[in-house]
């Protein structure tokens, strides 16, 4: 493999750009989810938090399946649907999104910052916990 000494950062930059493009494809900002909802776009809004978390704060219209239950309940999700996954801060939803993608659910995305960010930038009536 030849290394171009004239442009030593080219490979890193291109690699970083590809990583960012991939990550952006896996994530969706809360404001974009709100725009989709307001526009009447059809998608499955999946909340993967624990039952006590869902009872504490949730977004109307979400489908609640705790993270550990998703493999057993995957038949409840359509692999052709756009699936937007939300959790508390975005870590579990990213794990669920990655797992769903591995199972062939190519249109799964994780909400950046989770319900915490949703509460701060989209709907302040959702409790922050």
Q: Which residues of 7-41 are buried (b: 16+ CB within 10 A; e: fewer)?
A: eeeeeeeeeeeeeeeeeeebbbbbeebeebbeeee
Does a structural domain hold residue 17? no
**Domain assignment of residue 11, yes or no:** no
Confidence of residue 18 (pLDDT cuts 50, 70, 90): low
Q: Which of 67, 84, 87, 111 is catalytic?
A: 87
Residues sharing a CB contact under 8 Å with residue 78, sequence separation 6 or more, in sequence order: 44
Confidence of residue 124 (pLDDT cuts 50, 70, 90): very high
Position 21 scores a pLDDT of 52
Q: Which domain holds residue 101?
A: 27-121
The CATH number that applies at residue 109 is: 3.40.250.10
71 occurs within a structural domain: yes
Whether 79 is covered by a domain: the verdict is yes
Number of domains the chain is built from: 1
Tell me the mean pLDDT in the region 73-88: 98
Sign of CA dihedral 6, 21, 100, 59: positive
Q: What's the pLDDT at 41?
A: 96
Average pLDDT for the chain: 88
Q: State residue 22's pLDDT score.
A: 52
Taking only the tens place, the pLDDT of each residue in 28-77 is 999 999 999 999 999 999 999 999 999 999 999 999 999 999 999 999 99
The reply to whether 33 falls in a domain is yes
Q: Is 87 a catalytic residue?
A: yes
């Amino acid at each position: 493999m030849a290394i171009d000494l004239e442009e030593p950062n080219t490979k890193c930059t291109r690699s970083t750009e590809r990583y960012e493009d991939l990550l952006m494809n896996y994530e969706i900002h809360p404001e974009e989810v709100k725009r989709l909802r307001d526009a009447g776009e059809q998608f499955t809004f999946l909340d993967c938090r624990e039952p006590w978390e869902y009872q504490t704060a949730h977004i109307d219209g979400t489908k609640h399946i705790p993270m550990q239950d998703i493999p057993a309940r995957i038949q409840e999700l359509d692999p052709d649907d756009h699936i937007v996954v939300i959790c508390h801060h975005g870590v579990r939803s990213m794990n669920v999104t990655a797992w769903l993608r591995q199972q062939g659910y190519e249109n799964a995305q994780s909400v950046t910052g989770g319900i915490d960010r949703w509460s701060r930038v989209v709907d302040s009536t959702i409790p922050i916990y």
